[in-house]
Every structure is written in C-alpha cells, then in structure tokens.
Amino acid sequence: MLSLEHTAITRTAGLGHLDGLRSLDLKGSPVNDAGLSHLGDLKALRELDLSDTRVTDAGVEHLRKLRQLRKLTVADTGITPEGVATLRRSLPWCRIR
C-alpha cells in the first residue's frame, strides 16, 4: 500500500516500478487526468482512491483500462454521474464510490 494522500503529486509516472503495489491512495492530491496515464503499469493494483482530486471524465479512459481494480473511490472529483456509469460498465467487478 502507498498513501500519497494530500501530497503535491500530480502524475503517476515513476510508480510503475512498484510491481506489487495493490493499493494507492491519492486522496486530496492535485493529480489530474493526464497524471493517470501511467496507472496501467501497476498490474497488481486492486484499490485506488482518487477522492478530492482534479480528475474528470477525461480521466475515465485511463481508469477503464484498470481491469484488475476491485475498489475505486472517485468522490469529490470532476467525474460526472455519466462518467461513473461508464466506469461501472467497464469495470463491473469493481466497487465504485
């Protein structure tokens, strides 16, 4: 597990070498849609907290590729109900809040 909650991290580049990372907490960080582009490198990632970040529906495309996710928190982001619906269709086995 890695918690970067309320840090200044804006991109996930550089985290890809953490092969066994199962849980990533980015809550309250300034990470945005472009900053999610490297999450696909985290093949073991099961839980991701993006609450209170700058992620919007544009970031949904990056998140849809994370088929191994089981828990995703997107509260207080710019992701609309339509974006959440898209995520639920793409990741039916993932609990999305």
Domains of the chain: 2-96 (3.80.10.10)
| Under 8 Å between Cβ of 27 and 47 | no
CA dihedral 24, 49, 28, 74 (to 10 degrees): 150
- The pLDDT, as a whole number, for residue 48 is 98
Interval 36-76: pLDDT, tens: 988 988 999 999 999 999 999 999 999 999 999 999 999 99
- What value does the mean pLDDT take over residues 80-88? 98
pLDDT score of 17 more than 90: no
User: Which positions ≥6 away from 47 have C-beta within 8 Å?
Assistant: 22, 23, 24, 69, 70, 71, 72
